[in-house]
Amino acid sequence: MTRSKAVCAMAASLVIALSGCSRGSGSSQRKVIQNKGSDTLVNVAQTWAEEYKKVNPNVAVAVTGGGSGTGISALINGTVDIANSSRTMKDSEVAQAKAKGITPKEHIVGHDALAVFVHKDNPIGSFTIAQLADIYGEGGKVTKWSDLGVTVPGCDSGEIVRVSRQNNSGTYEYFREAVLGEKREYKLGSRDMHGSKDVVDLVAHTPCAIGYSGLAYAEAGARMPCISKAAGEPCIQPSFETALSHTYPISRPLFMYTNGEPTGQVKAYLDWILSDAGQCIIFAKGYSPVRQVSCK
């Protein structure tokens, strides 16, 4: 046998051997579900993925964040199986998707209370929606804590430091719609953070600050005052229960989007998320499930 023929024979044997190993390990049967989007949902999505692997070892769920807009763009471009979003898709996004042969299907997987956070030493006990709009909205006249009748220890300037999210965030979009109104823009000069946790961390270390983020990101260094729809109306504390009942003024559903009705392993995964097992995970992560569930 010539050297070249011997090399070819060895290569062929190696391919056959590797193919046999692949079949024997079952890796050729493994399904990878691509899941991208909302930073609000990213922590619970990662936990869902980890727990689901225990239930179905042949399915791996690859989870990444980046914001609701990032996930929706990936769905439109056909690069993910599931897009996570903390807001509904815009009409323009649905139109873009349909132009590319994608038919977005919306699935509500939980509910969130979008809390307003202040530093733990800030004595303010409540906000109205109008006050929040005057703090964050273009043309709003509230710029100092004294405008709201409080003095904040450690905040020598008295200036309100506005902490917000980047503009591709579903949290950013939802807060604007729920608090500012669809036609009003944010004031310039806020500190725009890339993640929900980053907002609360900055507020916890900045006595002058105010920020908004998901209830699940609460930490000891920041407080969550109650919110009322208008002066004289009940002031509601953000909680699992008030998010689910929609009595808290800034509560919202959380979504997963697929291309049409899900099938196969994607359907099985979404069914599991909406089962008691999946809904108890979202409850444990600080969100409200889509229905009452009995969790240990």
Q: Do 54 and 27 touch, CB atoms closer than 8 A?
A: no
Answer yes or no: is pLDDT of 231 > 80. Answer: yes
- Which two three-digit tokens encode residue 93? 């996004």
Domains in the chain: boundaries: 28-111+253-284, 112-251
At 16 the pLDDT is 33
At 265 the pLDDT is 97
At 157 the pLDDT is 97
Average pLDDT (58-74) is 96
Answer yes or no: is pLDDT of 78 > 90. Answer: yes
Positive or negative CA dihedral for 256, 257, 260, 264?
negative
**HSE of 181 in the Cβ direction (CA atoms, 13 Å)?**
9
Architecture of domain 112-251: 3-Layer(aba) Sandwich (3.40)
Average pLDDT (85-93) is 96
Answer yes or no: is pLDDT of 287 > 90. Answer: no
Q: How far apart are CA 85 and CA 96, in angstroms?
A: 17
pLDDT mean across residues, the chain = 89
Architecture of domain 28-111+253-284: 3-Layer(aba) Sandwich (3.40)
Q: pLDDT tens for residues 253-283?
A: 999 999 999 999 999 999 999 999 999 999 8
Average pLDDT (23-49) is 80
At 286 the pLDDT is 81
Its pTM surpasses 0.95: no
Average pLDDT (116-141) is 97
183 falls in which pLDDT band (50, 70, 90)?
Answer: confident
The answer to whether the 28-111+253-284 and 112-251 domains have the same CATH topology is: yes
Average pLDDT (112-121) is 96
DSSP codes of every residue in the chain: --HHHHHHHHHHHHHHHHHHHHHHHTGGG-EEEEEEE-HHHHHHHHHHHHHHHHH-TTEEEEEEEE-HHHHHHHHHTT--SEEEESSPPPHHHHHHHHHTT--EEEEEEEEEEEEEEEETT----EEEHHHHHHHHBTT----BGGGGT---TT-TT-B-EEEEE-TT-HHHHHHIIIII-TT-PBPS--EEESSHHHHHHHHHT-TTEEEEEEGGG--TTEE--EEESSTTSPPB---HHHHHHT-STTEEEEEEEEESS--HHHHHHHHHHTSHHHHHHHHHTT-B-SS-----
* CA nearest to 255, candidates 115, 112, 113: 112
Buried b (16+ CB within 10 A) or exposed e, 32-56: ebbbbbbbbbbbbbbbbbebbeeee
Answer yes or no: is pLDDT of 15 > 90. Answer: no
At 29 the pLDDT is 62
Beta-carbon count within 10 A of 22 CB: 12
CA distances from 92 to 65, 72, 73, 76, 145 (A): 22, 11, 12, 11, 39
At 140 the pLDDT is 96
Answer yes or no: is pLDDT of 9 > 90. Answer: no
Answer yes or no: is pLDDT of 79 > 90. Answer: yes
